[in-house]
């Protein structure tokens, strides 16, 4: 039996540390532009600029990245932004503020650095990644009506499916191939390829290394990773050493970001966790125990409940510590919890 929103939120709070009260849900905060009934098909991410403007990636050729004010009013779409940013970040640097993200569905794929106005600064093609760190289209052993073996399109062709990235304080890029090999690829600030590490073999044994973040809470900085199918968050060094498990038994962690003392983890199975530096749970937001509603992009708006997530796919903090969550949803949905 489904709990009422109030009863479920009360129960969730009782099961969590007192710190959970530090965030309060802000329902219906985002206001769409005139004539747009939904945000749009979201299989992307969310990030905030230094002005507090909220950038949301959508699978829409006309509105690939939408921009909302800190209060939630639609402002504009980023001109020429791709419609296949699965994961992206915004970084303010000495020479400006930029969007960084890998394209998921583009032919050949690439990694982009754009200005906030959508101007391309750097584009790194997937061909920059050595073949040994890529997957290959498997052979097709099916036969046609004549009994002949029909080759698969692109049989034997190597490929990547890059799903997320972050940028270190020194400007290096770290990009994860989450939907293919679960390798992390490192580039310098100019986009020059440096090395690859991770993958599905020991000591990493990753299974869908979905999204990553540079963990600036440590010196030297580390990479904190969402190993989605292993239900865990892990640390690796920026040189590729496996450092250990940060948290386990999560609801399929899909997105992560770090700010101050906290790591914010979006779990596509229906929760958002706030972890401290030791990996301990500080708060759990949006917990949804309705199995039919979570971990899919088809949950209809008429069953949405304020404060309950369905499939978190992108997470972000603003400067005040407020929490923003983008869903995996064909309709598009963005949650907000204000820090008290």
Domain ranges of the chain: 5-339
pLDDT at 267: 98
> Please, what is the average pLDDT of the chain?
91
**3 state DSSP class of 317:** strand
| The two three-digit tokens of residue 136, written as one number | 């290959």
Look at the block and give the residue holding tokens 């905060």. 29
Tens of pLDDT along 21-58? Answer: 599 999 999 999 989 999 999 999 999 999 999 999 99
pLDDT for 245 equals 98
| Residues contacting 51, CB < 8 A, separation 6+ | 70
Helix (H) or strand (E) holding 283: strand 281-285
What are the pLDDT digits (tens) for 281-308? 999 999 999 999 999 999 999 999 999 9
- How many residues are given for the chain? 340
- Residue 59 has a pLDDT of 96
Question: Which residue's structure tokens are 């008429």?
Answer: 302
Smallest CA-to-CA distance from 318 within 53, 116, 100 is with 53
pLDDT below 70 — which residues of the chain?
1-21, 139-142, 151-154
CA distance 279 to 63: 37
Domain 5-339 has CATH 3.40.50.920: no
């Amino acid at each position: 039996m489904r709990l009422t929103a109030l009863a479920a939120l009360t129960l969730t709070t009782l099961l969590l540390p007192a710190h959970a009260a530090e965030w309060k849900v802000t329902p219906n905060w985002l206001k769409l532009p005139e004539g747009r009934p939904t945000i749009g098909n979201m299989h992307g991410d969310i990030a905030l600029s230094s002005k507090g403007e909220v950038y949301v990636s959508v699978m829409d050729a006309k509105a690939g990245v939408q921009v909302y004010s800190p209060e939630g009013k639609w402002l504009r779409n980023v001109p020429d932004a791709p419609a296949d940013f699965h994961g992206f970040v915004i970084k303010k640097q000495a020479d400006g503020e930029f969007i960084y993200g890998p394209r998921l569905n583009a032919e050949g794929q690439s990694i982009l650095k754009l200005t906030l106005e959508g101007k391309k600064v750097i584009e790194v093609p997937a061909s920059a990644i050595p073949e040994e760190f890529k997957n290959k289209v498997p052979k097709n052993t099916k036969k046609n009506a004549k009994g002949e073996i029909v080759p698969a399109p692109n049989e034997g062709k190597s490929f990547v499916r890059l799903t997320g990235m972050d940028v270190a304080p020194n400007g290096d890029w770290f990009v994860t191939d989450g939907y293919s090999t679960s390798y992390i690829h490192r580039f310098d600030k100019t986009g020059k390829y440096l090395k690859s590490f991770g993958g599905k073999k020991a000591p990493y044994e990753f299974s869908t290394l979905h999204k990553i973040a540079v963990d600036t809470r440590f010196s030297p900085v580390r990479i904190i990773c969402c190993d989605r199918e292993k239900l865990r968050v892990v640390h690796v060094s920026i040189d590729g050493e496996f450092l250990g498990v940060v948290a386990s038994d999560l609801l399929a962690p899909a997105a992560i970001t770090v700010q101050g003392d906290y790591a914010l983890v979006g779990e596509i199975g229906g929760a958002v966790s706030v972890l401290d530096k030791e990996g301990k749970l500080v708060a759990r937001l949006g917990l949804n125990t309705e199995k039919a509603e979570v971990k899919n992009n088809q949950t209809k708006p008429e069953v949405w409940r304020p404060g309950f997530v369905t499939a978190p796919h992108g997470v972000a903090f603003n400067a005040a510590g407020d929490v923003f969550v983008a869903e995996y949803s064909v309709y598009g949905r963005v949650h907000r919890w204000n820090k008290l």
